[in-house]
Amino acid sequence: MKITDIHGKITLSNGVKMPYLGLGVYKSKDGKEVKNAINYALDAGYRLIDTASFYANEEGVGEAIKNSSIHREELFITTKVWNDDQGYENTLKAFEVSRQKLNLDYIDLYLIHWPVPDVLEETWQALEKLYKDGKVRAIGVCNCLQHQLETIKKSGTIMPMVLQNEFHPKLVQQELIDYCKKENIQYQAWSPLMRGRILDNKTIAKIAEKHDKSIAQVIIRWDLQKGVLTIPKSVHQQRIEDNANVFDFELTDEEIKTIDALHNDERTGAHPDHFMEHFAKKSKA
């Protein structure tokens, strides 16, 4: 894909166009903080906003969208069904709660937040119904590996249009990206900047210096040149603007390979096969 400006979009398997750069609002406080972040992003040219019921800020996201002068059709809004709300009927109810909080007639992309094992198939059936009923323009999953995608492929009638996973220079998972390309599933990165842990990396710093860019800008550009959509999260105006300032330079093939080589399977979040234990421990803490 040509990566020339912030308004660039890719075309999903069903023909829906999706911006390749967006704002993630994980841990953005509902109310003034998230609304300000979205306003900064929209002013900077962002058109994709990624939230989730788990983030507890859908109402603030909805208010920012409502008060924006940008036409709804120009925006691409993603939200997700949380683990406790999965299962067929529960997912349909959870979607309606999210839709009402966002105060939108439709959602652009609805995702399964984590692949809860016993209910993954019926949760996906609910997403298929929402899609067929025209309540969402596209459906997909988060935090999945190939075997979970294969489960959906065997039991469902529609393949996910998007897979949103943790993705950064320490967690590339090229085989999974290649699988998604083969199956026409668009890969999208959450935590592209590794929650800040990658921002002192000396290898990327050398590349950044060469291009007169920040490490964060180089990583975001790397995402896009690898064909991975990305949603860096920030509530600070300058960082939001800086994260979008990645369209006036290009990484060489050698630089992309150098960043790829940093992969060591390191995660900042839970593993898709062990997330139930991860969240159980967190709830006890």
Active-site positions?
55
The three-state DSSP-derived secondary structure of 37-97 is HHHHHHHHCCCEEECCHHHCCHHHHHHHHHHCCCCHHHCEEEEEECHHHCCHHHHHHHHHH
**The two structure tokens encoding residue 153:** 């492929």
Q: How far apart are CA 27 and CA 54, in angstroms?
A: 10
Contacts of 208 (CB under 8 A, 6+ apart): 214, 215, 217, 218
Cα–Cα distance for residue pair 253/237, rounded to 1 Å: 31
Distance between CA atoms of residues 182 and 166, nearest Å: 20
Cα–Cα distance, 1 to 9 (Å, whole number): 9
- Give the Cα separation of 92 and 80 in Å (integer): 12
Would you give the distance in Å from CA 128 to the centre of its chain? 19
Q: Which residues contact 75 (CB under 8 A, 6 or more apart)?
A: 47, 48, 49, 65, 68, 108
Q: What are phi and psi of 65, to 5 degrees?
A: -65, -45
Give the closest residue to 168 by CA, choosing from 142, 198, 145, 140: 198
